[in-house]
Amino acid sequence: MAAFDLPPPSLIGREFSDEAARAALAALSGPYLPWGSGAMRPAGLATVCNDIVLNGRRRIVELGSGISTVLLARLLCQRSPPGGFRIAAVEHDAGWAQWVTEQLDREGTGSEVVVVHAPLASHPRAERGLNWYDHDALTAGLRGALRGDPIDLLLVDGPPAYAPGHGLARYPALPVLRNWLAPGATVVLDDAERPGEREVLRRWERETGLDFDRLADRAGVAVARTGGAGTVNGPQRG
């Protein structure tokens, strides 16, 4: 095992609970946010925050915006000077994009955090009968937000995939954005315990050679890193 590789799941015995994660996320306190069942679990979000802190992530793309976007913005604002990071949150729903933008404006995050409105549309990489983010809106939005820099953290929590027949709705993310990733980038898929997301992970692994660590039971997410740079995984069981 290389120095910073995660141990196999069988060796990770202790749960990182939502309760423990909530305590960690208290460091991101600010005006109240309406956390609900559509948002990431605290343990999943803390897993993402750990990667940002431990591996210095500064070019972040999130598919599916919400409470997580605001909390990630708070974290980056704490840790990086103005202009030192970029977050692009891609959102298909115009009303929700507006709401998230208003929350970010209240927080004074500025141009470092951009909500990219990209409606769902037919897409060549989407499963038959499913849509994905409109190609032109997504491409223009990400180019503007990232200003040519590669993505060092890709968080896939959209489009919504809970409805029957929509289980593979998030599949296009990696085929489409793979070439936008920096060496050593982190890829996170939320809701990794659901059958659709498990199939998405199998396909991504087969097609890209990435090896996802499934933290689904503990945090709801699966995490992989692209090759090319040393990364740190954070505190592990001794």
Ligand X SMILES: C[S@@+](CC[C@H](N)C(=O)[O-])C[C@H]1O[C@@H](n2cnc3c(N)ncnc32)[C@H](O)[C@@H]1O
Of 44 and 59, nearer to ligand X (C-beta) is 44
Could you tell me the end-to-end alpha-carbon distance of the chain, in angstroms, rounded to an integer?
15
Q: Locate tokens 């977050």: which residue? A: 87
Q: Where are the beta strands (DSSP E) in the chain?
A: 59-63, 86-91, 113-117, 120-121, 132-133, 151-156, 181-190, 213-214, 221-225
Which of 85, 24, 21 has its CA nearest to residue 58? 85
Q: Is 18 in the site for ligand X (CB under 6 A)?
A: no
Burial class (CB in 10 A: 0-12, 13-18, 19+), 118: buried
Q: Least distance in Å: CB of 160 to ligand X?
A: 5
Per-residue mark of binding to ligand X, 65-104 (x: CB under 6 A): xxxx----------------------xxx--x--------
Choice from 31, 36, 148, 227 touching ligand X (CB under 6 A): 36
Of the ranges 8-16, 35-43, 165-173, 208-216, which one interacts with ligand X (CB under 6 A)?
35-43
> Which of positions 49-68 make contact with ligand X (CB under 6 A)?
64-68
- Nearest residue to ligand X, scored by beta-carbon proximity: 66
Peptide bond into 8 cis (omega under 30): no
Residue 9 Cα to chain centre, angstroms: 21
Q: Is 157 in the site for ligand X (CB under 6 A)?
A: yes
Q: Is 160 in the site for ligand X (CB under 6 A)?
A: yes
Choice from 28, 39, 77, 181 touching ligand X (CB under 6 A): 39
Of the ranges 2-10, 154-162, 197-205, 227-235, which one interacts with ligand X (CB under 6 A)?
154-162
Q: Least distance in Å: CB of 192 to ligand X?
A: 12
What gap in Å lies between CA 63 and CA 156, rounded to an integer?
5
Q: Is 193 in the site for ligand X (CB under 6 A)?
A: no
Tokens, residue 174? 């990696």
Q: Is 40 in the site for ligand X (CB under 6 A)?
A: yes
Three-state DSSP class for 159? coil
Of the ranges 12-20, 37-45, 193-201, 222-230, which one interacts with ligand X (CB under 6 A)?
37-45
What is the pairing mode between strands 86-91 and 113-117?
A: parallel
Q: Is 180 in the site for ligand X (CB under 6 A)?
A: no
Q: Least distance in Å: CB of 149 to ligand X?
A: 22
Phi, psi dihedral angles at 173 (to 5 degrees): -50, -50
Phi, psi dihedral angles at 74 (to 5 degrees): -60, -45
Q: Is 33 in the site for ligand X (CB under 6 A)?
A: no
Phi, psi dihedral angles at 96 (to 5 degrees): -70, -40
Of 141 and 158, nearer to ligand X (C-beta) is 158
Summarize as ranges the residues that interact with ligand X (CB under 6 A): 36, 38-40, 64-68, 91-93, 96, 157-158, 160
